[in-house]
């Protein structure tokens, strides 16, 4: 069983479209995150949810809207996609700091 699963793995879409990425974890963790990894491999936090509640929202355009229907799921919806949104998006979950994060396999988004 995959601990943190993201779908889709690849997403190619045109500028201006709206798309969603889904994430589910079966580890029973309380906290979930979305990170963006750019072409230079820099991982930057976007959002953090704890038990379905938003606790961190970094300086992300409001075209990005996370939704957590329950603590096992954290989805990311992106409106009006732009070329600069092309990146790999990673979902992760954690329970306590000392055990670190478990990452999903990533979604490679390409906006053309």
Partner 1 sequence: GQNIDQPTEMTATEGAIVQINCTYQTSGFNGLFWYQQHAGEAPTFLSYNVLDGLEEKGRFSSFLSRSKGYSYLLLKELQMKDSASYLCAVSAQSGNTPLVFGKGTRLSVIA
Cβ 109 to partner 1 shortest distance, Å: 14
Beta bridge partners of 101: none
Separation CA 49–CA 32 (nearest Å):
5
Separation CA 33–CA 90 (nearest Å):
8
Beta bridge partners of 14: none
Q: Which is nearer to partner 1, 14 or 96 (CB)?
A: 96
Contact string (CB under 8 A) for partner 1, positions 39-78, x = contact:
-xxxxxx--x-x----xx----------------------
* Cβ–Cβ < 8 Å for 34, 74: yes
Q: Which is nearer to partner 1, 86 or 102 (CB)?
A: 102
Q: Which is nearer to partner 1, 68 or 94 (CB)?
A: 94
- The tokens for 40 are 């230079």
Report the length, in residues, of the chain: 112
Q: Which is nearer to partner 1, 14 or 39 (CB)?
A: 39
- The residue whose two tokens read 């938003």 is 54
Q: Among residues 33, 66, 75, 87, which is the contact residue for partner 1, using CB under 8 A?
A: 33
What residues make contact with partner 1 under the rule CB under 8 A?
30-31, 33, 35, 40-45, 48, 50, 55-56, 90, 94, 97-106
């Amino acid at each position: 069983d995959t601990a943190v699963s993201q779908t889709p793995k690849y997403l190619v879409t045109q500028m201006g479209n709206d798309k969603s990425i889904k994430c589910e974890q079966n580890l029973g963790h309380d906290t979930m995150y979305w990170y963006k990894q750019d072409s230079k491999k820099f991982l930057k936090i976007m959002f953090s949810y704890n038990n379905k509640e938003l606790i961190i929202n970094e300086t992300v355009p409001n075209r990005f809207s996370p939704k957590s229907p329950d603590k096992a799921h954290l989805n990311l919806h992106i409106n009006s996609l732009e070329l600069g949104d092309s990146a790999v998006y990673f979902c992760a979950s954690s329970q306590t700091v000392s055990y670190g994060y478990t990452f999903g396999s990533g979604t490679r988004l390409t906006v053309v």
